[in-house]
Amino acid sequence: MAKQGAGELPKYQRIAAELRAAIESGQYGPGDQLPGENQLKETHQVALMTARQALDVLKNEGIAESRKGKGVFVRAFRPVRRRGVQRLSQEVWGSGRSVWADDAADRDLVVDGIEVGEAPATEPVARVLGLEPGAAVCTRHRRFVLDGKPVLLSVSHLPAELVAGSPVTQEDTGPGGTYARLAELGHKPVRFREEVRSRMPSAAETRQLELSAGTPVMRICRTAFDGDGRAVELNEMTLDAAAYVLEYDIEA
C-alpha cells in the first residue's frame, strides 16, 4: 500500500500542517511538549516512519525541537538585538568599552576559544584588504557564548604589517579593543561596510554553535576603512539566526 488520496496532501504533510496550526493558534506554547511519534502513529493510524516524517518537517522549519529520550517540543526564541550602527560609533569603542557589551545587557556573555595567529591571506581576504595573495595576515578567532549557548563565531583578518608588535596580535587587545589600537596606529576606522547573508549551517558550524535542525545562520562580513579609504580589517561573523535580530539605522 502507498499513496495519498487523489488531489490531497501527503499524509505526513497533513499531520505536520495540523501540528503547525495548533502551534500557531497557541494550543501549544513555547517549550510545550508535542505529541510524539508513537502517539501520532496511533491517532493518525500511520506507520512510525510517516509520523517521524511529519515531525521532521516541523524540526526543519525550526518550530519544533526533539530531545532524545524526552520528546518533541515547541522551540522558544529570545533573540538579542544587535545594533549595527551604534555599536560602531566612535563613542563606544573610543571610551574603552567593549563593542559587544551593548548586546548583552542583562544576559551572561562569555568569550571563549580565542585564537590569534598569522597566516598567508586567502584570495578573497587579500582582495578585500587590498593585499597581494599570500601576504601575511593576522587572524583573530573568537566565540561568543550567551547564557551558556554559543551564538556567534568571529574571525577577524588584519594586514600583518599594520599590526605587527601591537596588542592586536595578543589575546587581550586592551581597552576599546582592536579598533582603539588601530586608531593609535594611525589607522582609525571611520567607515564600515557590512554584508549580510543567510544560509543553512555547515556541519562544522552546527557543531560549534550547537545548532538544532531548522536553524539557519546569518553571515556578516564587515570591512573597516580608515580615513584614507584603506581596508584595515575584515571581520567574518557567523551568527545563530535564532539568537539575533540585526538593527540598522539609516539617515536619508
Partner DNA sequence: TAGTGGTCTAGACCACGTT
Partner DNA sequence: ACGTGGTCTAGACCACTAT
Instruction: Report the alpha-carbon distance of residue 82 to residue 100 in Å, rounded.
Output: 9
How many residues touch its own copies (CB under 8 A)?
A: 46
Candidates 96-104, 133-141, 167-175, 187-195; binding stretch for its own copies (CB under 8 A) = 187-195
> Grid coordinates in use for 89?
560609533
In whole angstroms, what separates CA 54 from the centre of its chain?
27
Our finding on whether 190 is near its own copies (CB under 8 A) is yes
Sequence-distant (6+) residues with CB within 8 A of 252 are none
The binder of DNA chosen from 6, 105, 250, 252 (CB under 7 A): 6
Which parts of 7-36 interact with DNA (CB under 7 A)? 10-13, 34, 36
Closest CA to 83 of 218, 239, 246, 195: 246
Closest CA to 241 of 218, 220, 219, 221: 218
Candidates 65-73, 151-159, 161-169, 198-206; binding stretch for DNA (CB under 7 A) = 65-73
Exposure letters 57-88 (e unless 16+ CB within 10 A, then b): bbbeebbbbbeeeeebbbbeeeebebbbeebb
CB 179 → its own copies: shortest distance, Å? 8
Our finding on whether 17 is near its own copies (CB under 8 A) is yes
The binder of its own copies chosen from 108, 115, 147, 247 (CB under 8 A): 247
Instruction: Report the alpha-carbon distance of residue 14 to residue 45 in Å, rounded.
Output: 13
CB 174 → DNA: shortest distance, Å? 41
Radius of gyration of the chain (CA): 23
Residue 89 binds which of its own copies, DNA, none (CB < 5-8 A, kind-dependent): its own copies
Residue 252 binds which of DNA, its own copies, none (CB < 5-8 A, kind-dependent): its own copies
| Contacting residues toward its own copies, per CB under 8 A | 17, 20, 49, 60-63, 79, 84-85, 88-90, 188-203, 213-218, 241-242, 244-252
